[in-house]
Structure 1
Amino acid sequence: MKLPLSQQKGFFAEYYLKLREVGAASCDSDIAKLSGCGNDDERVAYVDQLSWVRAGDAGLQVQREFNGKSATIAAELKERATNAFKQKKWLEAMLLYSRSYVSLPSDKVLERAIALANRSATLYHMQKHTECLVDIRRALDLGYPKDLLYKLYERQARCYMAIKDYPHTISAFKKCITAMDDSTLPADRRSKLHLDAMTMIKLLDADPRTSKQAAKQLKLKAANVSTALDQAQTLPDEKEYVSELVRIDQNTQEGRFARASADVQVGQELLVERPYVAVLLEKFAQTHCEYCFMRTVVPVACPGCSDVVYCSEQCQQRAASKYHKYECGILPVLWRSGASINNHMALRIIASKPLDYFLQLKPTLDDELSLEQLLSLPKDDFRRVAHLERHQKERPPSNFFQYVLMARFLTRCLQSAGYFGNDPQPEQVKVISSLVLRSLQFIQFNTHEVAELHKFSAERREKSIFIGGAIYPTLALFNHSCDPGVVRYFRGTTIHINSVRPIEAGLPINENYGPIYTQDKRDDRQARLKDLYWFECNCDACLENWPLFDQLPRDIIRFRCEAPNNCAAIIEVPPTCNDFMIKCVTCGEMTNILKGLKVMQDTEMMTRTAKRLYDTGDYSKSLNKFVDLLRIMYEVLAPPFPDFCECQQHLKDCFLNLGNVYNLD
């Protein structure tokens, strides 16, 4: 028996093809009429009334799914975990206990407490003491069985002792002694455990460090500063920051773009920005926090579904209150449909705010805003992203048709999740469909891939892996260059932008949309940019057709002309040149290249030192060395040249190591 369309893998493409088949001869002519629609409301309304589209809707039924939550599956996983634990396969046991816990339905409270307690035991054996404390606290909160509580408190005491928190160690041992009253332990084992606990309490009571720690903890508690080490902490929210060196400008040729309001030096932080919306890729849904994107060893499960995990209760509650209440149970359908991460972002933009917010905003959404008005809007205002580039005028009807179909599907997902309440009003549904359609358009050109640096230390190899997508309203206004002036790295979903070369006041501050001149030929770069972003790049690297890194000449040194008339010419000199004074063919003035030759000699030793610091993991000091190197080089030498490119890449690597990092060793 063939599965219903919406149960098939990658069903949205199949749905689209079937629609065209049903539309038959009138299909292309009907789609072509979309060119007569003046806005997204009209496009949605027009497609909605096409009879062959309405006929195809029956195959696109969307229902919430919670198949992953199963007490039976959880019990099977628990049994496998216990077998692994008995064989001292701690990591395997820990992962299986996690899967068992995530699979348990929310009403299986006792089973969840036991799964977390079991996971804490594996973490203790792995010497993950802080993580073990987190799970112990969670098991206690869920009402772990009274007759077994003494086990948890003893393990808690051992963890606190391992991290040298003696007041909490004493407290846990005392709780262990009290909890033994409810246990079924044989008298001899109870007596031994009681003696061991009392011995440790006496020893720690006599240790002078205990009283000092207790006094410090009491002081912090009085100041309302939490010192509990058994509370899972999410990644702290970083303060957003736009440097005074960054000015957003606008003109007819470049649109909205960033320029330097004053001279920018190498390594300066120009922007720290949290995303307007961020979505994790499906393949990382069980390893990373769905809310903040941090890897989690001891995940918190969603009470409703087993599709995502969180690093902490705080992140789980934030997601639930904001958007996950509408995505819970819908994610399997969305992933199975073949919808891209961009499509998922469009759904989440709507799911993150209540229906009334969009209904009230819609009548004024297209009101023209000046650049100053746009930038002054609150960061969570939909207009901050709704007014990003959409290239509406260049879109062919066929493109609009596909996007309208996706908008209708995503709106149907929201509807089935209860976004419109129990009695969805057709006009409200159409408003949201049009806003999803708008979102799909601006997301296409303004998404950034969120990265995590994977390190293979044994092989001395690193690779940036994309784990999700996000929109950063301010960064989205930066233009592209195949020779970017900045590097970006991520802490969780927060993006950091730092300069990787000097940028003179008044010049654009450009980032990179993917193709870079050192790795891709000009024709390939321009074709890719045209295909993905619908523009032709005119950066220096494209206009001058700079060679790839492997083809950069190493027998030529490019000096800047130092004539007092501010000549911008480049003087190319072979390393074997014996003359110190070289005449500029552009302005006719003489330039002394002795300083430049000395710079080349000095930078060799500095480069070795910077690389050594990098190899030992001292990324901050290594970064400072590479910053100095680039500054010195840029004063007398002109890109592109190999040493400068290599130094820039090393600087970028240093910044990446300050962000999301996963060591695979």
Structure 2
Amino acid sequence: MDCTCSFESLTKKFFRVLLLNNKLLELRVNIRSERTTEEMFSYIWRLDEAQRFLTPVLIPPTKSESVSFMHWREGESAYRIHDLDTALQYYNLAILSAPHPDILADNAEAHDREMYKALAQGYESRSIVLFDLQQYEKCSEDIDRALQLSSYRISCKMLEMKARCMIFISEGKDKTFDASAESLKSYPESFAYTNPKPPKLTEVNPTMPSLSSSVKLAYTPSEGRHLIADKDINPGEIVSVDDGYCNTVFMETSVVHCTVCLRRSMTPIPCPNCNMVIFCSVECRTDGMSGIHWQECPILPTLFALDMKKCPALAYRIMMKTSHAKLKGMIPLLRLEAKKKSPKNHGFNKEGIYDEKHYRSVYHLVTNKEKLSSQELLRKCIQAFIITKLLHLSGRYFLTSDGKPFTPSRKDIILTGSTLVHHMMNLTCNAKAITSLQVNVSISQLHHGKMYGSGIYSASSLMNHSCNPNCSAFFYGKTEVVRAVHFIPAGKQLTISYGEIFTDKSRASRLVSLMTRYHFQCKCEACEHSWQPLSDVSPLPLLKCTNCHEAIDSFTQVCFKCCINYGKNVGKNAAPYNYKLISKKIEKFQDEYQIAKENIFIKGNYSDRDMKVVRVLIKLLCKYMKQPCPLLMDAMNTLCYLFDKRGSCVYYQNDLELPCAIS
């Protein structure tokens, strides 16, 4: 990366010149929360210093035969020592770097064979590795691609290998990954991952289609829009399924995750014009090249060199997906809605539907503009300035109705830039990291989440934060599935973590972090009652009074605060539950939970019964146990692990995680 083209280097030059020109005070006056986004962006745009020093130099996307051959030679070296996983990664890079025809024609004669020799060689070599890895269907597909581009001499060898692939496929010998413990130990690491289809909601909310019917929207001035349980929600129950309005893959993982569906792929199909992204299938490439990637392809190398972090790339995609023509008509109406509509109704259309697939729901997500400092606002205005320049330079945003580029007017520029300032603000507090579970095959207890992209999910973004969240998100490629991980009684608010959990950090540390990024004082139960990190909490389980939620004396079985005797379960003053019966029930499921944990983490195999034990134990602990409860947090983490494994999941062996790419 050329550091002279980075966002930080451009802004340093910009501020240095403003200082020399005595304009810093003027800057502070014009960039502050009292100003509208249009006023702030207009001021930045008309600065000569901004036009001179913040305008990025466009770095065109490239393909290189020499770079492709370099990666191919590294692949050959790895293949000679039978390091198939490394060879595969280098051959993938060779394919991504090779010059490529615009569209692969069915007739091989349509292409200059010499011009695409590097691409044919990459596909041929990769097919050989795939054959050795017993990935016969993938091998056959690569052979077809190589045959479309290769010479007769290579074609004969390829046809022979394809015939063998067909035989092995018909005999059921194509090696498939089943994520069982035994399969993992013998399966090639390159393909030790899962891309399952996401589950669907069984009962859809009639006004918020990406949410379950067990959830409803609520609003208070202090908590804003939020979601509450319309009925009891059990641990593991799905509360939201959403593909997101827009998603993007992080640059550092862009060669192993499809830029369209975000699923992992180790046999990628390249973009014909750049080496920055991959597609997992012909269908995704067709989708991407007729839509979002075609729009961003000309500026991706520049965006990568700028290194503006995560939100600007997502904002660029949002603008491209929505289109200038649509935004020009919608933005004035949406700004009017923001002023006149009740905050609870923001994002809903005239039919009373909160459509997460419509831009309206994204626009109306909270920005926290009034809480941002001048320094924060200035940074977002500069980011918006640069992205507006990129949109213009791409030649694919300011388009007429018949798809031809036009020179935007100042009004077009201000509309675009001010909308981007708006998104720089609301993405900061609403964009979600998209993650996959990384599991160490050798030691199942060793696992962690890894971010590979970000997205905007306008319905689940309405969930407020808690340092003791009762919901968690799980990803299937780009699809977010939110499940309850606690028992949530009717009327209680659904919460997720914005990154802070009481088990990991002190209250003071969490409050500072949340205030710095999200600009609110957390008032969850963990913060309000100053819960200690889990390492400082007594492991001794204590049953609670369902009235005051304080611990019941284990000897007398009485809540001294409420004077309720939980040992008495008959008569007029009977307790809400019987202490001994619930104690025995929890002990029973606690014992079964230990067996289930051994099956899950030690043996690597678990049954539906094990899953049920975890879910029942969580429900019991939520209903009857004094919080915080270490056993509940342990069971919740186990439940999250099980659901993470059902989503996008990568497996690796020993202490080395499979790298995303080789540079």
Q: TM > 0.5 between the two?
A: yes
- How far the C-alpha of 1:318 sits from its partner, in A, is 1.8
- How far the C-alpha of 1:36 sits from its partner, in A, is 8.2
1:175-212 deviations in Å (ceiling 9; x for gaps): xxxxxxxxxxxxxxxxxxxxxxxxxxxxxxxxxxxxxx
- How far the C-alpha of 1:492 sits from its partner, in A, is 0.5
Query: Are residues 161 and 143 of structure 1, via their aligned partners in 2, closer, same or farther at CA, if it must alter by over 3 Å?
Result: same
Find out whether 1:106 has 2:79 as its counterpart.
no
Rg comparison, structure with higher value: 1
Which of 114, 117, 122 aligns to 1:115? It is: 122
1:597-626 deviations in Å (ceiling 9; x for gaps): 313431332112211331323375432220
Which of 626, 632, 652 aligns to 1:644? It is: 632
Tell me what 2:43 maps to: 46
Find out whether 1:27 has 2:24 as its counterpart.
yes
Equivalent residues in 2 for 1:352-501, closer than 5 Å: 352-368=321-337, 369=341, 371-372=344-345, 374-375=347-348, 376-418=353-395, 419-420=397-398, 421-460=405-444, 461-501=446-486
- How far the C-alpha of 1:634 sits from its partner, in A, is 3.3
Q: Do 2:96 and 2:270's aligned partners in 1 also have CA atoms closer than 8 Å?
A: yes
CA distance in 2, matches of 1:237, 1:625: 23
- The amino acid across from 1:13 in the alignment is E
Tell me what 1:281 maps to: 250
Q: Do 1:238 and 1:494's aligned partners in 2 also have CA atoms closer than 8 Å?
A: no
Tell me what 1:191 maps to: none
Query: Are residues 110 and 286 of structure 1, via their aligned partners in 2, closer, same or farther at CA, if it must alter by over 3 Å?
Result: same
SS at match of 1:94: helix
SS at match of 1:613: helix
Equivalent residues in 2 for 1:60-71, closer than 5 Å: 60-67=55-62, 69-71=63-65
Equivalent residues in 2 for 1:538-617, closer than 5 Å: 538-555=523-540, 557-561=541-545, 567-573=547-553, 579=555, 581-592=556-567, 593-615=579-601, 616-617=604-605
CA distance in 2, matches of 1:553, 1:658: 32
SS at match of 1:463: strand
Unaligned 5+ residue runs, structure 2?
Answer: 102-114, 175-193, 202-209, 399-404, 568-578, 654-663
Query: Are residues 89 and 83 of structure 1, via their aligned partners in 2, closer, same or farther at CA, if it must alter by over 3 Å?
Result: same
Find out whether 1:145 has 2:151 as its counterpart.
yes
Tell me what 2:501 maps to: 516
Query: Are residues 128 and 488 of structure 1, via their aligned partners in 2, closer, same or farther at CA, if it must alter by over 3 Å?
Result: same
Unaligned 5+ residue runs, structure 1?
Answer: 1-5, 169-232
TM-score normalized by structure 1? 0.82
Which of 120, 134, 138 aligns to 1:131? It is: 138
- How far the C-alpha of 1:367 sits from its partner, in A, is 2.3
CA distance in 2, matches of 1:647, 1:61: 50
- How far the C-alpha of 1:498 sits from its partner, in A, is 1.0
Q: Do 1:33 and 1:397's aligned partners in 2 also have CA atoms closer than 8 Å?
A: no
- The amino acid across from 2:469 in the alignment is P
1:474-523 deviations in Å (ceiling 9; x for gaps): 01101111111112111111111111111111111111111111111111
Q: Do 2:473 and 2:482's aligned partners in 1 also have CA atoms closer than 8 Å?
A: yes
CA distance in 2, matches of 1:56, 1:536: 38
Higher relative contact order (CA 8 A, sep 6+): 2
Query: Are residues 551 and 36 of structure 1, via their aligned partners in 2, closer, same or farther at CA, if it must alter by over 3 Å?
Result: closer
CA distance in 1, matches of 2:87, 2:488: 53
Find out whether 1:659 has 2:647 as its counterpart.
yes
CA distance in 2, matches of 1:637, 1:29: 59
Tell me what 1:204 maps to: none
Which of 46, 49, 67 aligns to 1:73? It is: 67
- How far the C-alpha of 1:391 sits from its partner, in A, is 1.3
Query: Are residues 431 and 591 of structure 1, via their aligned partners in 2, closer, same or farther at CA, if it must alter by over 3 Å?
Result: same
CA distance in 2, matches of 1:552, 1:127: 51
Query: Are residues 153 and 250 of structure 1, via their aligned partners in 2, closer, same or farther at CA, if it must alter by over 3 Å?
Result: same
CA distance in 2, matches of 1:505, 1:439: 34
- How far the C-alpha of 1:529 sits from its partner, in A, is 0.5
Find out whether 1:246 has 2:221 as its counterpart.
no
CA distance in 1, matches of 2:306, 2:330: 30
- How many residue pairs were aligned? 582
SS at match of 1:504: coil
SS at match of 1:318: helix
Q: Do 2:487 and 2:623's aligned partners in 1 also have CA atoms closer than 8 Å?
A: no
Q: Do 1:323 and 1:353's aligned partners in 2 also have CA atoms closer than 8 Å?
A: no
CA distance in 1, matches of 2:163, 2:595: 45
- The amino acid across from 2:161 in the alignment is R
SS at match of 1:263: coil
Structure 1 residues 77-86 or 24-33, which shifts more?
77-86
Which of 607, 619, 627 aligns to 1:631? It is: 619
Q: Do 1:326 and 1:414's aligned partners in 2 also have CA atoms closer than 8 Å?
A: no
Q: Do 1:453 and 1:656's aligned partners in 2 also have CA atoms closer than 8 Å?
A: yes
Which of 313, 317, 321 aligns to 2:290? It is: 321
Q: Do 2:268 and 2:280's aligned partners in 1 also have CA atoms closer than 8 Å?
A: yes
- How far the C-alpha of 1:287 sits from its partner, in A, is 1.8
Equivalent residues in 2 for 1:179-258, closer than 5 Å: 239=200, 241-258=210-227
Query: Are residues 114 and 338 of structure 1, via their aligned partners in 2, closer, same or farther at CA, if it must alter by over 3 Å?
Result: closer
CA distance in 1, matches of 2:199, 2:565: 51
SS at match of 1:242: coil
Q: Do 2:127 and 2:140's aligned partners in 1 also have CA atoms closer than 8 Å?
A: yes
Q: Do 1:261 and 1:505's aligned partners in 2 also have CA atoms closer than 8 Å?
A: yes
CA distance in 2, matches of 1:147, 1:99: 24
Q: CA-atom RMSD, angstroms?
A: 2.5
- The amino acid across from 2:410 in the alignment is P
Tell me what 2:488 maps to: 503
Which structure is higher in helix share?
Answer: 1
Q: Do 1:293 and 1:492's aligned partners in 2 also have CA atoms closer than 8 Å?
A: yes
Q: Do 2:611 and 2:639's aligned partners in 1 also have CA atoms closer than 8 Å?
A: yes
Q: Do 2:198 and 2:481's aligned partners in 1 also have CA atoms closer than 8 Å?
A: no
